């Protein structure tokens, strides 16, 4: 296509649309699937040069408007870009940088630079134009990116950034807040939701606002507890004991740290010996940790978990207790299981036999 023929085609298409007062460019006559996004204020990097896989950028910031749409396959990449260049020339824009296909450098580097505002399909080489204009209130920057998929479509994405000072008066600080004492978050008592025939263990109470979702007492059993973690896995120790296992559902107002710290403080008041403690990913895979202890607990996330094991000595036999607290993916607490294990010996005379 000769230069005169191309320019004629450009102006034919240009006359088919008109820009509204709220947008820099109008819409192509055959545009489909239009999308728009506005951002009050954001930084944005304009590409100013490409040297292989190296990009030079100009940091700008301001109010951003993003448009995207799809054109039929009949709209070539050259035709689309030349339409925009013709309009930019009309409004005396300064072309900061432009490139097409291989001249735009490594498509993966380009993708990483333009994301997330502009989506680059690395399977198809595209064209990029960055321009600077002068508006009534300051500089306006325009970025155009398009790529063509043979026999399918041409996709166009536009970014218009209006340079404005960063708006730092959107919120108001309240100095009076600094003059008041910290206010505790109100936590509702939910004991009425306790599982039937359940109760706190006499040794350890509950966090206010929690309720018992599972309760189990066994007169004598073998309980695995974790005493360490090594490269070989969890180091467990079986305890022959009377077991009380209580699972508490925790209010979302607590943090996992507050829950674990309160149980640690309670253990300290009892002068209990800390046998083992781990938190977060240091505890390993949460599903494997739960399995190693034989617990019936929801699997949540490796990052939000805390396990503590304590020991108390008493004349009638040692007492161990452990606390396993879990949180959900957003950090809010889920379930906390408390187990109290009172060491004892097996009574093996419960089954009556008749030797005769």
Q: What radius of gyration do the chain's Cα atoms show?
A: 34
Report pLDDT for 107.
Answer: 92
In the chain (356 residues long), the average pLDDT of successive 10-residue segments reads 37 38 84 95 96 94 96 95 96 96 93 93 92 92 95 95 94 93 90 96 96 95 93 92 96 94 96 96 90 78 91 93 92 92 77 66
Report pLDDT for 17.
Answer: 35
**Number of neighbours of residue 11 by Cβ within 10 angstroms:** 11
Report pLDDT for 7.
Answer: 36
CA distances to 212, 270, 294, 334 from 286, in Å: 21, 28, 12, 13
Q: Supply the pTM of this predicted model.
A: 0.59
Report pLDDT for 184.
Answer: 85
Query: Tell me: the pLDDT tens digits for 57-103?
Result: 999 999 999 999 999 999 999 999 999 999 999 999 999 999 999 99
Report pLDDT for 15.
Answer: 34
Report pLDDT for 316.
Answer: 85
Strands of 305-312's sheet in order across: 211-230, 233-249, 333-343, 319-327, 305-312, 273-279
């Amino acid at each position: 296509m000769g230069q005169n023929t191309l320019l004629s085609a450009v102006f034919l298409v240009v006359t088919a649309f008109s820009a509204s007062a709220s947008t820099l460019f109008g819409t192509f006559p055959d545009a489909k699937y239009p999308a728009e996004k506005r951002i009050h204020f954001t930084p944005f990097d304009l590409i100013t040069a490409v040297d292989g896989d190296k990009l030079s950028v100009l940091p700008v910031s301001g109010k951003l408007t993003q448009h995207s749409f799809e054109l039929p396959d009949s709209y070539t990449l050259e035709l689309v870009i030349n339409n925009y260049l013709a309009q930019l020339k009309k409004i005396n824009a300064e072309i900061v940088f432009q490139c097409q296909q291989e001249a735009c450098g490594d498509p993966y580097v380009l993708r990483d630079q333009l994301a997330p505002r502009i989506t680059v399909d690395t399977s198809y080489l595209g064209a990029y134009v960055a321009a600077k204009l002068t508006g009534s209130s300051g500089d306006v920057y325009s970025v155009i990116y398009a790529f063509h998929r043979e026999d399918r479509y041409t996709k166009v994405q536009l970014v218009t950034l209006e340079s404005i000072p960063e708006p730092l008066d959107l919120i108001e600080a309240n100095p009076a807040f600094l003059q008041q004492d910290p206010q505790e978050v109100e936590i509702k008592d939910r004991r009425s939701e306790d599982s039937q025939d359940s109760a706190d263990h006499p040794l350890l109470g509950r966090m206010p606002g929690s309720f018992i979702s599972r309760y189990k007492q066994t007169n004598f059993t073998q309980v695995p507890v974790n005493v360490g973690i090594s490269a070989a896995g969890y180091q467990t120790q079986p305890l022959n004991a009377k077991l009380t296992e209580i699972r508490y559902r925790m209010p979302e107002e607590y943090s996992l740290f507050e829950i674990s710290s309160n149980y640690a403080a309670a253990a300290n008041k009892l002068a209990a010996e800390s046998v083992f403690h781990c938190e977060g990913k240091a505890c390993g895979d949460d599903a494997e940790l739960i399995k190693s202890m034989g617990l019936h607990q929801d699997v949540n996330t490796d990052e939000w978990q805390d396990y503590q094991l304590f020991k108390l000595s008493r004349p009638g036999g040692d007492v161990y207790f452990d606390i396993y607290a879990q949180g959900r993916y957003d950090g809010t607490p889920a379930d906390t299981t408390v187990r109290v294990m009172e060491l004892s010996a097996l009574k093996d005379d419960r089954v009556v036999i008749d030797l005769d």
